[in-house]
Amino acid sequence: MHSRIYGFLLIIIAISCNPPEASESLQVQGTIADSAMVVSAHPLATEVGLKILHKGGNAVDAAIAVQFALAVVYPVAGNIGGGGFMIYRDKDGNTDALDFREAAPLAAHRDMYLDKNGDVIENLSTLGHLAAGIPGTVDGMVEAHKKYGSMPWEELVQPAIDLASKGFTLTKNEAEGLNENYTDFLAYNTTADQEWITDQWKEGDSIQWPDLAKTLTLIRDNQREGFYAGETAQLLIAEMHRGKGIITFEDLENYHASWRTPVIGQYKKYKVISMPPPSSGGIALMQLLYMMEDYPLKEWGFHSPKSIHYMAEAKKRVYADRATHLGDPNFHLVPQKELLNKKYLKTRMKSVNDNKSTPSDSISSGLFTPYESEETTHYSIVDAQGNAVSITTTLNGSYGSKVRVAGAGFFLNNEMDDFSIKPGTPNMYGLVGGEANAIAPFKRMLSSMTPTILEKDNELFMVVGTPGGSTIITSVFQAIINVTEHDMSMQGAVNAGRFHDQWRPDLLFIERNAVDKNAIENLN
């Protein structure tokens, strides 16, 4: 492998837990490591991962430790009450994908968020107990350890227990996040003993999570059973009963993470390894790369009007396909082969007008014969042997459903909103879905998470991912284009401003100061 590894994390603060809107790019200093790297959203979690590597653990060991640490120090997105996706590439180039996405409870049904007139009930899929899907994170980490872990499980969970029990210092962002959600915390948490609910947190405060420490101890000692059975399960179900949620013991018992085959494609000199459904990320990313590979983006220039125009037009068509064709492959036949057919994708681009944006109403998903056969956080890890892990994990919205399981200390996700709660109705990120992503018992909701690894000349080249809701796919796409076409450093690619188009609404979102004023004026 290369003698030096460049690691980075795409963080788009303004759109990580809200619908897309213009924002300033985050300017951060890059780091270069000689042999290994851990990049996460919180310095304490990164420190935990590095210590595991120093003890001789591999990339997956470090990833497990980072995941549990993030649940403590970064509860806005780090979690044990949510889910996510992992892309793995070992030092020899073998790849794997782990789906630990949340699933709908058995009592879930297609119209559960609609009133008697068939209209969407405001906030029901985003706030409170009914918004939560069955958590997948703990089972996912257990499965990752079984297959690829090298250190004892107990040693990987213990650092998170120490952080939760001994306490840690709040960052400015985390203090502000807890304060800003004070009203929702009060409204959706069901017991009186909630001393953590206040709007007086400030940077530098020390905070402890004793209930979470107890839950993590059960997970340390009992692995999967420490979460999906016993005391933790009882506390979770008691929380459901108090808040009129629908997750049951049977749901917890029957949930299992799934190993899947990565989406793998070739973009010029680069092999791209990304996440398959129920994430839309891998297919959508490869569609975008295939659509753009014959256009002279380097010649046109970074953020030139022509580059922006054609990339935005490709994004519209990809998100239209996403709305119609993508969903949980266990419930819906995803036409992956057809969606990634280069002839099909080039045909999709033939309708692009050189000088004018295509209205969203004029774009629909592609037609073909079916083949018969936020809140989110991301972390990237490479160990000294060259094994690489790219993991995106989420509660969906900021602090998920706002519900913290009393006595167990962890926040529940609000991932049910990622289903098409009513086909054609936008979710909290403005994404429109169809029948393929309708709610059904034990179905996994469609995701935009795009953990990705790139190779060049059979060597590890890039480990990338980002939070950002519906903008995740286009942000990862632009980071790759910035490095491979515009010769940016990896940190430069992160710092560069971004633009986003997701078909509906019919708007091009541009981060503040990301594009030259003259270029914007030349867009039609």
Q: What is the set of active-site residues?
A: 376
Distance of alpha carbon 516 from alpha carbon 231, whole angstroms: 57
Long-range contacts of 454-460 (CB under 8 A, 24+ apart): 454/270, 454/271, 454/272, 454/273, 454/480, 455/89, 455/93, 455/270, 455/271, 455/273, 456/269, 456/270, 456/271, 457/269, 458/93, 459/1, 459/2, 460/1, 460/2, 460/5, 460/89, 460/382, 460/386, 460/388
Q: Is 34 exposed, middle or buried (0-12, 13-18, 19+ CB in 10 A)?
A: exposed
Strand partners, 120: 114
Residue among 443, 437, 412 at smallest CA distance from 425:
437
For CA atoms 196, 201, 207, 213, the dihedral sign is: positive
The runs of H, that is alpha helices, within 197-330 are 210-222, 225-228, 230-243, 249-254, 281-292, 297-300, 305-325
Largest CA distance in the chain: 63
For the record, the structure tokens of 402 come out as 């706002």
Judge contact between 417 and 127, C-beta under 8 A: no
